[in-house]
């Protein structure tokens, strides 16, 4: 998997936190209360943890009634893990695991109550989800899964441009590219997750969690426009001149327009 910089993760965090469905996080926290052993904080394994955005999303909801949580942060990038520890070692119990995600069997899930991820599982393949579900079913039957901010393939802009739909189609095709785990699920990730965990007997709860980007998010929106343009230029679906015109138009309107990027949050709990 290609790495993500601390700057990029910080840039998107405000939009991520606004987008996350709070009801699913609250439901996950209540479930942890029910299944945890008295006087022992529940253990959460956060896959692709980055700088700890998932920790912050949970902390924001339990701030008025603090509950001790133990976090096993799992990422392939030791620099991101070090930053997460720096930000959270005072307020949370933190364990760091530098892990190669290409081997599901090496994921450190021993003793875990809940597996979490954010903006990760749309990057992985169907085989990754299959193996993760089977590992949880056969080795850790009472483990829940919370997966937030799975891209759903929808993006809308104001003002509109004639190439919006074509550029989105090109971008979505690239989302299925191999990110190091085989062909990525991309926009199909949430649906595939839902079906796979329902198959192994889990109760499934989903909610929409779109980015709602306005003029105050112009730095993130501008970075998104640049990223979509870069991806589109590497493919052959559109002429480079058309893509550049779209890019120019979008950048000209980044301070006054808006953008909505669709995501889906999912909570899967054992029956």
CATH number of the domain that 131 lies in?
Answer: 3.40.50.150
pLDDT at 39: 81
Buried b (16+ CB within 10 A) or exposed e, 155-174: bebeeeeebbebbbebbbeb
Burial 205-226 (b: 16+ CB within 10 A, else e): bbbebbbebeeebeebbebbbe
Cα angle at 103 between 121 and 178, to 5 degrees?
50
Residue 223 lies in a domain: no
99, 76 Cβ separation under 8 angstroms: yes
Residue 202 belongs to some domain of the structure: yes
Domain count, the chain: 1
Cα separation, 157 vs 257, in Å, equals 7
Please tell me whether the peptide bond between 50 and the residue prior to it is cis, using omega within 30 degrees of 0: no
Q: Which domain holds residue 126?
A: 6-154+178-211+260-270
Residue 143 CA to residue 32 CA, distance in Å, equals: 10
In a domain, 247, yes or no: no
The answer as to whether 161 is a domain residue is no
Question: Within a domain: residue 219?
Answer: no
pLDDT (0 to 100) of residue 2: 43
Among residues 220, 223, 229, which one has the least CA distance to residue 248? 229
In a domain, 242, yes or no: no
Longest C-alpha distance within the chain, in Å? 63
SS3 259: strand
Could you report the average pLDDT of every consecutive run of 10 residues in the chain (271 residues)?
78 97 96 87 96 95 78 96 94 93 90 96 95 92 95 98 97 92 94 97 98 96 97 94 98 96 98 86
Q: Is residue 54 part of a domain?
A: yes
> What 3-state class would DSSP assign to 222?
helix
pLDDT of residue 64: 67
Q: Is residue 187 included in any domain, yes or no?
A: yes
Question: According to the model, what pLDDT value does residue 101 have?
Answer: 87
């Amino acid at each position: 998997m290609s790495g993500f910089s601390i700057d990029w993760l910080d840039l998107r965090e405000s939009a991520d936190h606004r987008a996350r469905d709070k009801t699913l996080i609250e439901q996950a926290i209540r479930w942890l209360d029910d299944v945890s052993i008295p006087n022992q904080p529940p253990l959460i394994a956060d896959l692709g943890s980055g700088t700890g955005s998932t920790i912050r999303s949970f902390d924001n909801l339990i701030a008025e009634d603090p509950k001790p949580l133990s976090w096993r942060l799992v990422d392939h990038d030791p620099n991101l893990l070090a930053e997460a520890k720096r930000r959270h070692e005072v307020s949370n119990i933190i364990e760091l695991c530098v892990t190669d995600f290409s081997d599901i069997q090496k994921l450190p899930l021993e003793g875990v109550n809940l597996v979490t991820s954010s903006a990760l599982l749309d990057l992985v393949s169907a085989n990754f989800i299959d193996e993760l579900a089977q590992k949880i079913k056969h080795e850790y039957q009472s483990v829940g899964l919370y997966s937030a901010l799975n891209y759903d393939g929808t993006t809308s802009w104001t003002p509109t441009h004639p190439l919006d739909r074509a550029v989105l189609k090109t971008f979505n095709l690239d989302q299925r590219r191999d990110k190091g785990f085989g062909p990525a699920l991309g926009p199909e990730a949430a649906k595939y997750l839902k079906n796979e965990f329902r198959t192994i007997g889990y109760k499934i709860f989903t909610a929409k969690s779109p980015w709602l980007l306005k003029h105050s998010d112009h730095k993130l929106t501008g970075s998104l426009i640049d990223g979509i343009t870069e991806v589109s230029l590497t493919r052959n679906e559109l002429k480079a001149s058309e893509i550049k015109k779209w890019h120019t138009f979008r950048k000209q309107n980044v301070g006054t327009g808006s953008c909505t990027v669709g995501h889906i949050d999912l909570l899967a709990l054992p029956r």
